[in-house]
A and B are shown apart, each in its own frame.
Chain A
Amino acid sequence: MPTLIDRGQVQEFVAAGAQLIEVLPTEEYGEDHLPGARSLPLPQIDADSAKTITRGQPLVVYCWDAA
């Protein structure tokens, strides 16, 4: 199960080198995203796109809200 974290923990993870991933559509990513985040929309997450993510580093995943 993914670990649930809050805003302060996001900052801590990112400072420690975690990869930040926004899973919203690219249009919304283009408007606003957390500094340092990369775009990987949910429908595009598969074995191929997973190769572009560095393994062995924590991932922080977010979208718009808790939905």
Chain B
Amino acid sequence: MAPRAASRLESLGFREVQLYTAGKLDWLAAGLPTDGENSTRPRAGTVCHRDVPTCALTEPVGEVRERVRGAGWDAAVVVDGARVVLGLLRADDLAKSADAKVEQAMSSGPSTFRPYVPIKEMADYLTKHELESSPITTSDGRLVGLLYRSDAVREADGCPDCARKMI
């Protein structure tokens, strides 16, 4: 749409027309501010827990479990050195053999969502798919935080449906 708009503007005599090809999706995925109705409502990125514990593939589950539970958590996100999400250690994964490596115990390839998704849509999705929690990541897969369904449902109370679905 934007390429056609830019060409149309040029046909109307405008000479310095720049085309932001990646568009609003790219802007939102970068976590940059916007104006508009949604900008005042909670989104996945504002409700998620950014302080969620992380761990590496090669760590023993027992060590991670001790650290995670000691900090009051029941889950950890498995990331690489660049904080790209590789997996999720949910409560039942953390209960696995202490000697197992995280790589063997984790839930691989969890569904991830972008920070800009309205919390109402997140709540509906997590409820429909019976997901207890999901990692929120940037468009290049880097961890932003962990969103719990219970938080999403609570924050979504009273939020209207959005005209455009973002999942």
Which A residues contact B (CB, under 8 angstroms)? 1-7, 9-10, 13, 18, 21-24, 27-37, 40, 42, 45-47, 50, 53, 55, 57-67
Select from chain B the residue with minimum beta-carbon distance to A13.
B18
For the complex of A and B, list the 7 residue pairs with the smallest distance between their C-beta atoms, beginning with the closest. A2-B6, A62-B20, A63-B2, A23-B5, A58-B16, A63-B1, A2-B19
User: What are 26 A-B contacts defined by CB distance under 8 Å?
Assistant: A2-B18, A3-B16, A3-B18, A5-B19, A5-B21, A7-B30, A9-B18, A21-B5, A22-B24, A27-B163, A28-B164, A31-B36, A32-B116, A33-B24, A33-B35, A35-B34, A40-B5, A45-B8, A58-B16, A58-B17, A59-B9, A61-B20, A62-B19, A62-B23, A63-B2, A63-B5
Given contacts A4-B21, A32-B38, A50-B13, 8 further A-B contacts (CB under 8 A): A2-B18, A5-B21, A6-B21, A61-B5, A61-B9, A62-B19, A62-B27, A66-B2
Question: Does A42 lie within 8 Å of B164, measured CB to CB?
Answer: no
Question: Does B33 lie within 8 Å of A35, measured CB to CB?
Answer: yes
Which B residues contact A (CB, under 8 angstroms)? 1-10, 12-14, 16-28, 30, 32-39, 116, 162-164
Question: Among B10, B22, B37, B39, which residue has its beta carbon within 8 angstroms of that of A6?
Answer: B22
Question: Does A42 lie within 8 Å of B35, measured CB to CB?
Answer: no
Quick one: given A7-B27, A34-B24, A35-B35, are A50 and B12 in contact (CB under 8 Å)? Answer: yes
A33: chain B residues at CB < 8 Å are 24, 34-36
B4: chain A residues at CB < 8 Å are 42
Quick one: given A62-B23, A64-B25, A65-B22, are A34 and B12 in contact (CB under 8 Å)? Answer: no
Chain B: minimal CB distance from A42 (Å): 5
A37: chain B residues at CB < 8 Å are 35
Quick one: given A45-B5, A64-B1, are A31 and B163 in contact (CB under 8 Å)? Answer: yes
- The complex places the Cα of A40 from the Cα of B34 at a distance, in Å, of 17
- The complex places the Cα of A61 from the Cα of B6 at a distance, in Å, of 6
